[in-house]
Structures are given as C-alpha cells and as structure tokens.
Amino acid sequence: VFHLTDKYLGTYITHLNFLHGKTVKESTDEFFYKDIVKVGTTQEEVTLKNGQKTNVESFVLKVSSGDSISVRDYTIKLEEKKGTKVIPTTPMEKHIQAIRTMLREKKT
C-alpha cells in the first residue's frame, strides 16, 4: 500500500501466506520526496514452487541513504498483440505512474 502525502510517501508492505491465511511479514516506511533518487520497474520470469514459470513485475524505490523497497506483482499476464507478447498496464503500473507524477511535482 502506498500513501502519498504532501511531504513523503508512506508504504505498508505485507507478505501473505494464502495457503494458511496468515501474514508472514509486515513493514512500514516513510520516504521523503526530496530523498528519493530512483523509481523504476522491471519484468522478469520466475519459477514458482510448483515448477511453473510466470512473469512478474517489480517496482523499486531507492533513496539517497541507499535504502530501498521492492514490490513484486505476481498477477501480471502477458497479452498477445499482432503475434507479439506485451505487458499490459496493470493496476500496479497505474499506482507507479501516480507516484512518478507526484515526484515530478515535488522535485521541480
């Protein structure tokens, strides 16, 4: 979860074990806009525990101190367009675009 304020970006990250319905890990952070040095995404193929390969998108945010957060989206599905597989605009990408827009406003 990302929370945009006037001065900082607040985050809440949790790892949920869907099989057991339990939260495995939780963290919260605050990143002041003036300290953020990178916002980016990457796509990669990962192998799940059952051996199935899937594509995931990762969001990365880094600050001047060297601290960073990374969030993976396992729900991404490639779409076929004119014989080429493309990555659709996911809900996570829409949030990332909002964060980038806010950073541009705060850093200029």
Q: CA 37, 88, 38 angle in degrees (round to 5)? A: 5
pLDDT tens-digit map of 42-82: 888 888 888 888 878 888 889 999 988 888 776 656 565 66
Q: What pTM was computed for the model? A: 0.63
Q: What is the reported pLDDT for 81? A: 61
The span from the CA of 56 to the CA of 61, in Å, is 17
